[in-house]
Copies of this chain bind each other. A is one copy, B any other.
Amino acid sequence: MADITQESANKMFGGWQKVFSHDSKELKCKMKFGVYIPPQAESGPVPIVYWLSGLTCTEQNFVTKAGAQQYAAKHGFLVVAPDTSPRGCNIEGEEDGWDFGTGAGFYVDATEEKWKLNYRMCSYVTKELPQIIAANFKVDSDKSAIMGHSMGGHGALICALKNPGQYKSVSAFAPICNPINCPWGVKAFTGYLGESNKEAWKEYDACELIKKYNGPPLEILVDQGKADNFLTQGQLLPDNLVSACAASGVPVVMRMQEDYDHSYFFMATFMEDHFNHHAKFLN
């Protein structure tokens, strides 16, 4: 483990919840990520589930609130939870809003001058981090899945759709399904990718990427709370994902959950179902 430093380690459900830091080559800054190592990893390589968090989160939110480790221990999955943006890059404006800059990397590789050196979360999550995981843990990288929440649900969907075959399965909680058509997405893509470059925007939009997806069959599971205030505000647009999947013949199970909101309370409730979903493809 030459390139990563263990920051914390807590025994949990027979395995270990750890947090590591490292100097990211893609992001040019120090980053942290959480890793739950299931007890099964002691005896051989295990599948990997990547979790991408939402706006304002660090690696801690999922680690402390999602209640996922019990299911990871049951199925024998190593669970990797990265941070949501580069940190401390001292870019002017980086800390001005909670929905852009720090805590809001949106899982894109920025092309705008100001952001393009550091804000490369797409490459970080799909290339650098998998290499680090493969080099440091007893994993079977051919068995990887990806999931996430809100901005991270968007991230999970686009990572899976942009990299056919890299992830055996994908799921999301309340994802930003169609960022090019919602206020959060328009703000982020304008900032990171430029206002005029609308074709580049489509390369990070799940509804657009589904149109041209021609990789191995994907079966998408999404849970969406009906009492989610961001649903009402038009930030998430799950209907657009369902329509895009229908038009392209990609199977999606979109579960609209009565009374549930956008919180970790909602996610903890259905986390077991998502791990069972991934287990169908990983085990």
Contacts and interface: CB of A to CB of B under 8 A. Distances in A.
Interface in A242-283: 257-261, 263-266, 268-269
A11 interface: yes
Q: Dominant SS at the A interface?
A: mixed
Contact of A266 (B12, B227, B265, B269): B12
B227 A70 contact: no
A171 interface: no
A260 B11 contact: yes
A10 interface: yes
Interface in A56-97: 64-65, 67, 69-70
A223 to B, nearest CB: 12
A13 interface: yes
Chain A interface category by residue count: 20 to 34
Contact of A265 (B17, B265, B269): B17
A10 B266 contact: yes
Contact of A269 (B13, B259, B264, B268): B13
A70 to B, nearest CB: 7
A265 B225 CA distance: 27
Given A64-B65, A65-B65, A265 B10 contact: yes
A225 B64 CA distance: 18
A90 to B, nearest CB: 32
20 contacts: A10-B261, A10-B263, A11-B225, A11-B257, A11-B258, A11-B259, A11-B260, A11-B261, A11-B265, A11-B266, A12-B266, A12-B268, A12-B269, A64-B65, A64-B264, A65-B65, A67-B70, A69-B265, A69-B268, A70-B268
9 nearest A-B residue pairs (beta carbon) = A10-B265, A12-B265, A11-B259, A67-B67, A11-B260, A13-B269, A10-B263, A64-B65, A12-B269
Given A11-B261, A70-B268, 4 more contacts: A11-B227, A12-B265, A17-B265, A67-B67
